[in-house]
Structures are given as C-alpha cells and as structure tokens.
Amino acid sequence: MSKLIPPHGGKGLTCCLLEGNELEAEKKKAASLKQIFISPRAKGDLIMMGIGGFSPLTGFMTKVDWKGVCEKFLLEDGTFWPIPVTFDVSEEDGNAISIGDEIALFDPKGDEIMATMKVTEKYEMTEADKKFECEKVYMGEGTPTPEEFWKIAKDDHPGVQMVMDQKKYNLAGPVKVLSEGEYPVKYAGIYQKPAEARKIFEERGWKEIAALQLRNPMHRSHEYLAKIAVEVCDGVFIHSLVGNLKPGDIPADVRVKCIDTLVKNYFVEDKVVQGGYPLDMRYAGPREGLLHATFRQNYGVSRMIIGRDHAGVGDFYGMFEAQTIFDKIPAPTEEGKALLCTPLKIDWTFYCSKCDGMASLRTCPHGKEDRVLLSGTMLRKGLSEGTTIPDHFGREEVLKILREYYASLTEKVEIKTHAAATGGK
C-alpha cells in the first residue's frame, strides 16, 4: 500500500497514452483522419493527459467545464481545477468539423500526429468570452480593476496575449495520445511520467514530498527554499519546466545543468530528486500556482513550495497572492475532488550581510541596505546585460555556466523586472 498522496480526482492516474498493439492500430487509423495543427501549448497539455499528469482529465474541456473552471475553480462534476485546458481551431477548421467526428492532432514542429480526438462539442469563443477568461484567470491584485488590467495586459502579459490570440472555436472531447514528442529522448533522465516519479519516491520510503517549481536557473534563494523543504519533509522534488517559455527565459538544458551542479556540490543527494515536465508556462501567477500544486499531486507530491511572486509576470500580481489564493479556493467534500497538495508558504528570502547568511522577512530584523534581494528575473537581466552579479546572489559554479550561455547568444532580449524585486514596493 502506497504511503504517497493519491492522484487528484479520485480515479487514480488517468493516462491517455496508448501502448503496444493499441497504439499501432490507432496510428494507422490516425493517418486517414482529418489533420488539425496544434499549438505548442496544446502539445504539452496532450502529453500531460497522456502520462497522467493532468489526472483526472482525459480530454479537452467542454464550455460548461471551461466556464466553471474560470468562475468557480470547478469542473462540471465538482472536481477542483484551476485553469482552463482547451483546444482552439480556426473558423475554417471549425466549420469543417462536426460533432462526433474523429480528428488527428498534428504537431507541425515535430512533424508527427500527437493524438486522436473524438469531438463531442464545438463552441465559439467570442471576444467577450476571451476577456471573461482573462479577467477571471489572469487578473490579480497588481491590477485590481478591469480598467487597470486592460490598460497594460494586451501589451505586457504573455498569458493574456495567448488567450486573446486564440482562434474562433474550441473543440471538446476525449483524446488518445500517441506520442510524448521529443521529451523522452531530449531530456532523458530528467523528463518523467508521474508513475515514474512515484516509483522513485516509494523506493526511497518517502511520504511527504515538497516540489520546487523552476523556470529560472537555481539561485541562492531557490537553494534556500529547497533546503527548508528538506528540513520539514522527507525530500524535495526539484521539478523543472521543459516546455516552451517566453523570449528571454533560459532554456531547460542550461537550467538542468545548473541544478545538477548545485545538487552535487551543496545538497545531500539522496534527499533530492530532479525531474522535468512538458508544459508551456501560462504565466497565470496565483492560478498557475494552483495548477502546479494540482498536477504535482499526481506526481506524488504533498507540498508545493510557494514563495514570492510564484509564476508572476511584471507587476500584475501581489507578492504573495499565489499563497493566499490557496486559502480561498473551494474544498469539495466528495472523495478525490478537492486539492490535497498543500502549499509550503515561505516568505521573501534573501542573503543578509548582518545575519551572515540566508534569511527571510520572518527571521531577519535588518534593513534593505544589508540584503541582497534575489530574483530569477533579476539574475537573467544582469546576465543578459553583462552587469556585475552581486555577491551571494548565486553559487559561482552556477554563474559560470550561465555566463557561458549568455556569451554564446547573438541576440539579447529585454528583461522586465517586478517592481518588488528591485525594492520598488
């Protein structure tokens, strides 16, 4: 009997990835179906449904599910879910598809059919629908009114831009996933299915596991967060996004190299597991923090480390809004339908010269002038612009890897920082 937290939804791991003879038969059938191109975001969502990472989802959401998730954090059946998982198609493709059709979902970048889908619903996403989704899912305390939000969101929020750029129709229905794309080969040893991560945790005898979400290279603050987790849990799961990022973010292979270096030199190795997952960032701040906890539960994780400005963009969210949102979500009473992975809430962390070590606002009585404020965005900005990185910002072994990466770039991308990260709040 496993000691690990059960998968979300009460149905175990719902894996849509086919294998063996069933896979070969579906691939043969898929070759004769109408092919619809998919976005990188949809590709990541399909793979997560394939490997059980999005349990209990087994397909793209209906309009009722979409609206319930946006408005109430709930699927139609009452299961908690924080962010829409939808599939959009053009007006031309939508008009050519009827309810009941089977279609093949084709990844143009990878040049392969990723899945087949039985279309059970087709619904139009009007401009008003898209704005509704943006205001419910992406609007935070940093822009508390729709007027303030829309004044800057269309130009400065990549998540909002993704939603507003969606095509005319959404298609809903169950999927059969045929491929995990490039991830098993490109990120061998890092990319994992939930069942594989659970097996590692069980072999180590772990019960309480904390996940550290990473889209930036690990700096001293991340290291400190991970070590706090090791102190209070059986181990820490350093779980990196290996899907697509926005321009200026550091690619996964460089981040993985940095993590390997840190774990080897500064951690007790048998207290750390490193992994990767194939999603694109949605940049939804607090809502994305909830999504991170939801799918980490499927990986066997019981605590989600939530620090300052988790998954944030610019100044759209309050510094700790991704923590407080966990206190406001519904808690369905039916077994399996509530989110069980709880937040490990940690205050703003930094290096303090007077404390002579890492500290947080809860433990350090000193002023700003004594603190090295740590931020992944600030680190990327400094490296990109070639400015001096302050002492104690990162481990020298890691900074060496990052400097080599930035030296290899031929084009620089402007990095925008959160006001709080630079002492602006």
17 φ, ψ (degrees, to nearest 5): -80, 120
Which tokens sit at 48? 């997560």
Tell me whether residue 215 is one of the annotated catalytic residues: yes
- With helix as H, strand as E and coil as C, how does the chain read? CCCCCCCCCCCCCCCCECCHHHHHHHHHHHCCCEEEECCHHHHHHHHHHHHCCCCCCCEECCHHHHHHHHHHCECCCCCECCCCCCEEECHHHHHHCCCCCEEEEEECCCCEEEEEEECCEEEECCHHHHHHHHHHHCCCCCCCCHHHHHHHHHHHCHHHHHHHCCCCEEEEEEEEECCCCCHHHHCCCCECCHHHHHHHHHHCCCCCEEEEEECCCCCHHHHHHHHHHHHHCCEEEEEEECCCCCCCCCCHHHHHHHHHHHHHHHCCHHHEEEEEECCCCCCCCHHHHHHHHHHHHHCCCCEEEECCCCCCCCCCCCCCHHHHHHHCCCCCCCCCCCCCCEEEECCCEEEECCCCEEEECCCCCCCHHHEEECCHHHHHHHHHHCCCCCCCCCCHHHHHHHHHHHHCCCCCCCCCCCHHHHCCC
- Sign for the pseudo-dihedral over CA of 226, 81, 334, 298: negative
- Say if CB 138 and CB 287 are below 8 A apart: yes
CA 357 to chain centre: 30
Q: Which of 41, 170, 216, 395 is catalytic?
A: 216
- Say if CB 198 and CB 4 are below 8 A apart: yes
CA 308 to chain centre: 16
Q: Which of 198, 215, 255, 303 is catalytic?
A: 215
As annotated, the active-site residues are 215-216
